[in-house]
Amino acid sequence: MKPAGEDVANFLAWEAMLLDERRFDDWLALLADDAWYWVPLHPDQQHPLDGPSHVYDTRDALLARVYRLKDPQNLPQQPPSRCARVVGRPFVVAGETGGELTVRAPFQLVEALPHHDADDAIRVFAGTITYGLRRQGTDLRIRWRRVDLINSQKGLHGISILV
């Protein structure tokens, strides 16, 4: 593996900032039309249909998820969680083929739940995110996004954010 270019590192940092700032429509604009998002239950899963997953969403399902996140009637997100993501240095996993590049980066996400009491008001997620990125002209688009959590076999109780 080799480090990804500065354009990829900046793109992943931009994506993290959009999610942290709850700029979901801008985040959706980063997705390719055929994008999918996956949080596998087991780290050795090779395909989303090989077994159960925490999340496996197509672009249409992501549109619905974002709609719910923005909905003031969505009680688990009232008031909304505050999040801070740190994305580490991305590395190229598979070289560019047909305009698509596969990169992997470590990440940490801290979620503050303002509607919870002090005992469970902070949740921490960590692991790696693997992306299939597609070039469209000079821009990058997310073709697919796989989030491997280090504690993936534990339940993700009441997760109502995008990891």
For the chain, domain boundaries: 2-149
Pick the CATH number of 2-149 from 2.60.40.10, 3.40.50.300, 3.10.450.50, 3.90.76.10: 3.10.450.50
Residue 28: count of CB within 10 angstroms of its CB: 16
Q: Tell me: the pLDDT tens digits for 56-111? A: 999 999 998 888 877 777 666 667 788 999 999 999 998 877 789 999 999 999 98
The mean pLDDT of the chain is 88
CB distance 9 to 67 below 8 Å? no
Which residues, other chains included, contact 93 with Cβ-Cβ below 8 Å and sequence gap of 6+? Answer: 1, 102, 103, 104, 130
> Is residue 26's pLDDT more than 70?
yes
pLDDT band, very low/low/confident/very high, at 156 (cuts 50, 70, 90): low
E strand or H helix that includes residue 16 = helix 6-20
Q: Strands 91-97, 82-87: parallel, antiparallel or unpaired by DSSP?
A: unpaired
pTM over 0.85: yes
